């Protein structure tokens, strides 16, 4: 009986910790669309998933608007070979979502292989039933 109770409590607590609202799932899907578009260098997908008001901050301090962000990825000067996201948290309040995660990527910027390890904060805004990346800021992991 004691084992049954422990297993039941474990399963129940796991269900609670992994539960996501519909909005959180939609934001998580949008994040994966962004990740894929960045790896693929897909300018149309990047334009589709980001806001025209985008403020995209890099760990170097450079801040780009939507056109600059899309252009750098589409032309290969910012080339992501792989992007892995972990430790992701999503908080939704109305039509705004705050997302934090760890971002580890293999890059090939200008033909030069590299690796980046960052903590990322993104702000997403729901517009016309679609979540769009509104702002992003990266910080190097020390």
The tokens of 131 are what? 């979540």
Q: What is the pLDDT of residue 2?
A: 53
The tokens of 11 are what? 């399963």
Residue 26 phi/psi, 5-degree rounding, is -65, -40
Q: What is the pLDDT of residue 123?
A: 98
- Rounded CA gap, 86 and 128, in Å? 28
> pLDDT tens across 100-128, in order?
999 999 999 888 999 999 999 999 999 99
> pLDDT tens across 9-50, in order?
444 444 344 568 999 999 999 999 999 999 999 999 999 999
Mean pLDDT over all residues of the chain?
A: 90
Prediction pTM value: 0.83
- Rounded CA gap, 92 and 98, in Å? 6
Q: What is the pLDDT of residue 142?
A: 79
Per-residue b or e along 91-126, where b marks 16 or more CB atoms closer than 10 Å to that residue's CB: ebeeeebebebebebebeeeeeeeebebbbebbbbb
pLDDT, mean of residues 55-81: 95
């Amino acid at each position: 009986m004691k084992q049954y109770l422990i297993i039941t409590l474990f399963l129940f607590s796991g269900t609670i910790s992994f539960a996501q609202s519909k909005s959180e799932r939609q934001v998580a899907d949008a994040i994966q669309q962004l990740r894929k578009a960045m790896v693929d260098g897909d300018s149309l997908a990047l334009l589709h998933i980001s806001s025209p008001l985008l403020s995209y901050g890099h760990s170097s301090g450079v801040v780009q608007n939507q056109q600059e962000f899309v252009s750098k990825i589409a032309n290969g000067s910012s080339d992501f070979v792989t992007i892995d996201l972990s430790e992701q948290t999503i908080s939704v309040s109305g039509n705004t979502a705050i997302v934090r995660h760890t971002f580890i990527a293999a890059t090939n910027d200008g033909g030069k292989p590299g690796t980046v390890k960052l903590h990322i904060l993104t702000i997403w805004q729901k517009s016309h039933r679609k979540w769009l990346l509104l702002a992003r800021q990266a910080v190097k992991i020390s």
